[in-house]
Chain A
Amino acid sequence: QQQVKQSPQSLIVQKGGISIINCAYENTAFDYFPWYQQFPGKGPALLIAIRPDVSEKKEGRFTISFNKSAKQFSLHIMDSQPGDSATYFCAASSPYSNYQLIWGAGTKLIIKP
Chain B
Amino acid sequence: EPEVTQTPSHQVTQMGQEVILRCVPISNHLYFYWYRQILGQKVEFLVSFYNNEISEKSEIFDDQFSVERPDGSNFTLKIRSTKLEDSAMYFCASKAGAYEQYFGPGTRLTVT
Contacts and interface: CB of A to CB of B under 8 A. Distances in A.
A98 B43 contact: no
A89 B43 contact: yes
Interface stretch (A40-48, A57-65, A66-74): A40-48
Interface in A74-113: 89, 91, 93, 95, 97-106
B72 to A, nearest CB: 21
Contacts of A104: 42
A102 B56 CA distance: 13
Given A100-B33, A101-B35, A105-B42, A34 B100 contact: yes
B25 to A, nearest CB: 13
A49 interface: yes
Interface string B31-53: 10101000001111100101000
Given A98-B48, A98-B55, A100-B48, A46 B42 contact: no
Contact of B99 (A43, A44, A49): A49
A46 B101 contact: yes
Overall SS of chain B's interface: strand
B75 interface: no
Interface in B30-84: 31, 33, 35, 41-45, 48, 50, 55-56, 58
B46 to A, nearest CB: 9
B44 A43 contact: no
B105 A100 contact: no
B29 to A, nearest CB: 13
Contacts of A99: 31, 48, 95, 98-99, 101
Interface of B: 4, 31, 33, 35, 41-45, 48, 50, 55-56, 58, 91, 95, 98-106
Interface of A: 32, 34, 36, 42-46, 49, 51, 89, 91, 93, 95, 97-106
The 4 closest A-B pairs by CB, nearest first: A43-B103, A98-B56, A100-B45, A103-B43
